[in-house]
């Protein structure tokens, strides 16, 4: 530009002032290193970082086609932005994006999210395009954006907090040399992106985040290490959610005198845990509310109903019962899953939600007084039908819904956690009778699957509910089941007390068959408590009562149990006679599973009397029936008895093989201690028998280090109600 101004030819009639404007051509400023700082205390995402590095690498995973878009998705507060920023720093340091890194926050869940044309304007400015050269329409901006990128070396575009594919699609470059890394609460599958879903931290990673972030505030702050147990509880109360953990750190940092235990107690006892997880700048409730406000009315209602469901997972069947309809159920569930407010559970057709989302859903619930009642009615109906199938004998009426034991067990397995939790709900007076009966329907199943802790909880809750509502019949039946559960968990005196309580109640109510069952189950516990003579007397009383009321199934069980007590008292001939009577009665009744127990116990008695061939035959009959019923614990017992029999007859190879098969069966039966014992016996058992026989008491847990002897007879046939 010339610095000379030519005024020739001008007509000036007064003072003239000259004004000049100089322009200098220079590139507009760029923002190609605009990443926010890394999150404090970041930890526990090694696997996800590896997946992002693989996707962002120059040649794509395994040297294949490059991945244009990678989408990190997850619940609000799960740490998506922190992970994306950390991955972007790593990619830049690796030299994969010499053209720079662009960062844009799309505010997808705010009241006024960033539109695509606004995002493009921001990115074009960051790329150095002068404002006056940025077109007015979104399509024109997208074209210019791709053209500018085409002239540059590889650039990484980080689009944070997107709420829909439409927000992101215009930001995609025209060449795979550049990459896009998106974070969203939605899965954004329509983008054709490499999906990286993000879950909550592991307990260990959450603990490390608390410690690291707190030490950033004060390197000398060792409260987390000094209160490790309380810190673990605090992490659990935060749901292992990074946002909640960071807020907890801020609350501790601003109050150096507060212990970790104090904060954990505050969160644990706070009526509104989400309200407590607020440091004035960040709030877990606010993070969830951003997602909640975008839900339709039906989706919002379903979320609150799922939040009140019992158990950690909710089946679609139960969700439909809570909602009162199946209309649009799957559509709404999938919509909730897309924004990570629910996710698929461990069982097919089941869904679960994060602990803090459950709290949020319960807090915002409008309430549905009929939902819990519908669920209780539903659970009672089908748990009762499943229980009927498990107890069914040929010739009896077919139970409702479940055609086979396998179907009944599969339903109970899927719904177990919800059923157990529903029993323990605080029910109104008018629903307590049904809640107690639901508990009674579960005990045979819980014992079969060896979920003894659940059995104690269910039976104990039913006993207390029945007692508080004056339901003496229900209390009696629950006391019976509680006694069985306590026996299985080794609380023998408490089990005795429960059976005595059951007996007294049945006597008061005039229930002679219930009294017989109480005597029967009391006898089984007395055997384990080394009170064998008292046990024999209890079994004889039960036998006589069953005969008086004509209940042959109960009598068949008692003969088996009496035989086990007689064997423990070394009255072997009498024991064998009792087992034979039990076998005959069970056969006549068509109770093949009961028959298998009697055959197994008869084998034990035959071995004690030296009748090896007959014992082996009895074990074989028991094993065949137990396999038919998939009674894996019983299979393990009988295989272990056969292993001991092989050792007694100097066949160590066969003995080891049967021990190993027994260990496998015990494992399938959820009995790890028994599995470990059988596996150890396979490795360490001597080839020659030495010592004295182990005691034959049901179900004594003897090691096999002394003289090989049959496993004790089965536990007494316990009638759960």
CATH number of the CATH domain containing 647: 1.25.40.10
Q: Is the pLDDT of residue 710 over 80?
A: no
Q: Which of 675, 674, 684 has its CA nearest to residue 708? A: 684
393-402 long-range Cβ contacts below 8 angstroms, 24+ apart: 393/589, 393/590, 393/591, 394/590, 395/590
Q: Is residue 87 very low, low, confident or very high in pLDDT (cuts 50, 70, 90)?
A: very high
For residues 636 and 643, give the distance between their C-alpha atoms in angstroms, rounded to a whole number. Answer: 10
For residues 587 and 407, give the distance between their C-alpha atoms in angstroms, rounded to a whole number. Answer: 25
pLDDT at 4: 53
Q: Which sign, positive or negative, has the C-alpha torsion 504, 505, 506, 509?
A: positive
pLDDT at 189: 86
Has residue 33 been placed in a domain? no
* Segment 33-84, tens digit of pLDDT: 779 998 888 899 999 999 999 999 886 555 556 789 999 999 999 999 999 9
Q: Is the pLDDT of residue 441 over 50?
A: yes
- The residue-averaged pLDDT of 254-266 equals 94
Q: How far apart are the first and last CA of the chain?
A: 102
For residues 391 and 413, give the distance between their C-alpha atoms in angstroms, rounded to a whole number. Answer: 17
- The residue out of 132, 165, 197 marking a domain boundary is 197
Contact (CB, 8 A) for 500 and 474: no
Residues 263 and 127 in one domain: no
* Segment 376-424, tens digit of pLDDT: 999 999 999 999 999 998 888 999 999 999 999 999 999 999 999 999 9
Tokens representing residue 180 in the block: 């896009």
- The residue-averaged pLDDT of 90-99 equals 94
Q: Which of 440, 502, 433 has its CA nearest to residue 470? A: 433
Residues 252 and 281 in one domain: yes
Q: Which of 85, 59, 58, 90 has its CA nearest to residue 72? A: 85
Residues 321 and 191 in one domain: no
Has residue 38 been placed in a domain? no
For residues 290 and 281, give the distance between their C-alpha atoms in angstroms, rounded to a whole number. Answer: 15
- The residue out of 197, 231, 264 marking a domain boundary is 197
pLDDT at 715: 42
- The residue-averaged pLDDT of 244-259 equals 94
Q: What is the DSSP string of 677-712?
A: HHHHHHHH--SS--S-PPP--TT----SSSS--PPP
Residues 308 and 222 in one domain: no
Question: Which of 707 and 184 is assigned the larger pLDDT?
Answer: 184
Residues 717 and 575 in one domain: yes
Q: Is the pLDDT of residue 127 over 60?
A: yes
What is the tally of helices (H) and strands (E) in the chain? 31, 8
Q: Is the pLDDT of residue 550 over 60?
A: yes
Q: What is the DSSP string of 421-442?
A: HHHTS---HHHHHHHHHHHHHH
Q: Is the pLDDT of residue 17 over 60?
A: no
* Segment 98-119, tens digit of pLDDT: 999 999 999 999 888 999 899 9
Q: Is residue 471 very low, low, confident or very high in pLDDT (cuts 50, 70, 90)?
A: very high
Has residue 314 been placed in a domain? yes
For residues 171 and 149, give the distance between their C-alpha atoms in angstroms, rounded to a whole number. Answer: 11
Question: Which of 480 and 64 is assigned the larger pLDDT?
Answer: 480
pLDDT at 32: 75
Has residue 387 been placed in a domain? no
Q: Is residue 346 very low, low, confident or very high in pLDDT (cuts 50, 70, 90)?
A: confident
- The residue-averaged pLDDT of 22-27 equals 42
Q: Is the pLDDT of residue 29 over 70?
A: no
* Residues sharing a CB contact under 8 Å with residue 373, sequence separation 6 or more, in sequence order: 431
Residues 183 and 100 in one domain: yes
Tokens representing residue 69 in the block: 């878009």
Question: Which of 64 and 222 is assigned the larger pLDDT?
Answer: 222
pLDDT at 433: 93
Q: Which of 630, 644, 568, 561 has its CA nearest to residue 598? A: 561
- The residue-averaged pLDDT of 427-445 equals 93
Tokens representing residue 675 in the block: 């599995």
pLDDT at 5: 54
Q: Is residue 11 very low, low, confident or very high in pLDDT (cuts 50, 70, 90)?
A: low
Kindly report the CATH number assigned to the domain that includes residue 320: 1.10.10.10
Kindly report the CATH number assigned to the domain that includes residue 182: 3.40.50.300
Q: Is the pLDDT of residue 708 over 90?
A: no
Has residue 22 been placed in a domain? no
* Segment 601-625, tens digit of pLDDT: 999 999 888 899 999 999 999 999 9
Instruction: Tally the C-alpha atoms within 13 A of residue 8's C-alpha that lie toward its C-beta.
Output: 2
Has residue 4 been placed in a domain? no
Residues 530 and 595 in one domain: yes
Number of domains in the chain: 4
Neighbour count for residue 245 (Cβ, 10 Å): 26
Q: Report CA-CA distances (Å) from 316 to 422, 458, 463, 549, 698.
A: 17, 24, 31, 44, 42
Backbone dihedral angles phi then psi of residue 195, each to the nearest 5 degrees? -90, 130
* Segment 523-540, tens digit of pLDDT: 999 999 999 999 999 999
- The residue-averaged pLDDT of 81-88 equals 96
| Domain encompassing residue 530 | 511-721
Q: Which of 416, 309, 324, 318 has its CA nearest to residue 361? A: 309
* Residues sharing a CB contact under 8 Å with residue 21, sequence separation 6 or more, in sequence order: none
Contact (CB, 8 A) for 498 and 477: no
Residues 611 and 693 in one domain: yes
Residues written for the chain: 721
* Segment 558-586, tens digit of pLDDT: 999 999 999 999 999 999 999 999 999 99
Give the least confident one: 622-626, 664-668, 703-707: 703-707
- The residue out of 286, 307, 322 marking a domain boundary is 286
Has residue 438 been placed in a domain? no
Q: What is the DSSP string of 188-214?
A: -GGGT-EEEE--PPPHHHHHHHHHHHH
Backbone dihedral angles phi then psi of residue 421, each to the nearest 5 degrees? -65, -40
Residues 567 and 704 in one domain: yes
Residues 161 and 222 in one domain: no
Q: Report CA-CA distances (Å) from 155 to 35, 135, 145, 366, 609.
A: 13, 22, 12, 48, 85
Residues 550 and 678 in one domain: yes
Residues 581 and 713 in one domain: yes
* Residues sharing a CB contact under 8 Å with residue 445, sequence separation 6 or more, in sequence order: 386, 387, 390, 409, 412, 416
Rounded to the nearest 5 percent, the helix, strand and coil shares of the chain are 60, 5, 35
Has residue 491 been placed in a domain? no
* Segment 134-171, tens digit of pLDDT: 999 989 999 999 999 999 999 999 999 999 999 999 99
pLDDT at 709: 32
Q: Is 65 exposed, middle or buried (0-12, 13-18, 19+ CB in 10 A)?
A: exposed
């Amino acid at each position: 530009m010339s610095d000379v101004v030519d005024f020739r030819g001008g007509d000036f009639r007064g003072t003239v002032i000259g004004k000049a404007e100089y322009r200098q051509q220079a590139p507009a400023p760029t923002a190609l290193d605009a990443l926010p700082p890394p999150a404090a205390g970041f930890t526990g995402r090694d696997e996800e970082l590896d997946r992002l590095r693989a996707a962002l690498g120059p040649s794509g995973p395994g040297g294949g086609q490059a991945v244009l878009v990678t989408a990190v998705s997850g619940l609000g507060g799960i740490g998506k932005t922190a992970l994306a920023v950390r991955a972007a720093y790593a990619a830049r340091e690796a030299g994969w994006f010499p053209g720079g890194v662009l960062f844009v926050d799309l505010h997808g869940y705010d009241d006024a999210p960033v539109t695509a044309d606004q995002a493009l304007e921001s990115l074009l400015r960051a790329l150095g395009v002068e404002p006056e050269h940025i077109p007015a329409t979104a399509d024109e901006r997208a074209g210019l954006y791709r053209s500018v990128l085409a002239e540059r070396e590889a650039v990484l575009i980080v689009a944070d907090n997107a709420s829909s594919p439409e927000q992101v699609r215009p930001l995609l470059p025209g060449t795979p040399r550049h990459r896009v890394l998106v974070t969203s609460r939605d899965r954004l599958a329509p983008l054709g992106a490499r999906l990286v879903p993000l879950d909550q931290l592991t307990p260990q990673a959450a603990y490390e985040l608390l410690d690291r972030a707190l030490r950033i505030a004060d390197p000398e702050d060792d409260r987390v290490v000094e209160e490790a147990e309380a810190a673990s509880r605090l992490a659990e109360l935060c749901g292992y959610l990074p946002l909640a953990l960071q807020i907890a750190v801020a609350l501790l940092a601003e109050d150096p005198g507060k212990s970790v235990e104090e904060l954990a107690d505050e969160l644990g006892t706070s009526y509104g845990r989400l309200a407590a997880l607020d440091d004035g700048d960040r709030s877990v409730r606010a993070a969830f509310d951003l997602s909640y406000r975008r839900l339709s009315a039906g989706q919002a209602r379903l979320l609150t109903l799922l939040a009140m469901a019992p158990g950690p997972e909710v089946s679609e069947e139960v969700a439909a019962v809570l909602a009162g309809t199946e209309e649009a159920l799957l559509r709404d569930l999938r919509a909730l899953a897309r924004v990570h407010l629910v996710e698929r559970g461990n069982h097919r057709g089941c869904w679960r939600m994060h602990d803090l989302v459950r709290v949020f859903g319960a807090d915002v619930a409008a309430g549905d007084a009929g939902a819990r009642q519908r669920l209780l009615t539903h659970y009672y109906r089908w748990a009762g039908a499943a229980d009927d199938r498990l107890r069914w004998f040929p010739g009896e009426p077919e139970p409702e819904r479940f055609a086979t034991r396998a179907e009944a067990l599969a339903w109970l397995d899927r719904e177990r956690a919800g059923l157990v939790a529903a029993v323990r709900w605080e029910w109104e007076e008018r629903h307590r009778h049904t809640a107690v009966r639901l508990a009674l329907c579960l005990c045979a199943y819980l014992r079969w699957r060896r979920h003894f802790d659940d059995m104690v909880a269910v039976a104990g809750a039913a006993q207390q509910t029945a007692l508080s509502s004056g339901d003496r019949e229900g209390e009696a039946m629950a006391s019976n089941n509680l006694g069985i559960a306590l026996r299985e968990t080794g609380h023998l005196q408490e089990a005795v007390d429960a059976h005595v309580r059951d007996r007294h109640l049945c006597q008061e109510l005039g229930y002679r068959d219930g009294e017989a069952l109480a005597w029967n189950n009391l006898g089984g516990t007395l055997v384990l408590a080394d009170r064998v003579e008292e046990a024999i007397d209890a079994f004889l009383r039960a036998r006589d009562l069953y005969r008086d009321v004509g209940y042959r199934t109960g009598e068949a069980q008692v003969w088996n149990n009496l035989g086990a007590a007689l064997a423990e008292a070394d009255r072997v001939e009498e024991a064998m006679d009792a087992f034979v009577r039990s076998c005959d009665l069970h056969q006549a009744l068509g109770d093949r599973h009961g028959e298998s127990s009697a055959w197994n116990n008869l084998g034990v008695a035959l071995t004690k009397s030296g009748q090896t061939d007959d014992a082996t035959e009895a074990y074989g009959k028991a094993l065949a029936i137990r396999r038919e019923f998939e009674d894996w614990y019983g299979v393990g017992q009988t295989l272990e008895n056969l292993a001991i029999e092989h050792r007694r007859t100097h066949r160590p190879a066969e003995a080891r093989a049967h021990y190993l098969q027994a260990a496998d069966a015990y494992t399938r039966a959820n009995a790890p201690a028994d599995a470990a014992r059988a596996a150890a016996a396979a490795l360490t058992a001597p080839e020659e028998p030495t010592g004295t026989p182990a005691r034959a008491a049901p179900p004594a847990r003897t090691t096999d280090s002394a003289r090989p002897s049959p496993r004790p007879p089965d536990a007494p046939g316990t009638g759960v109600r």
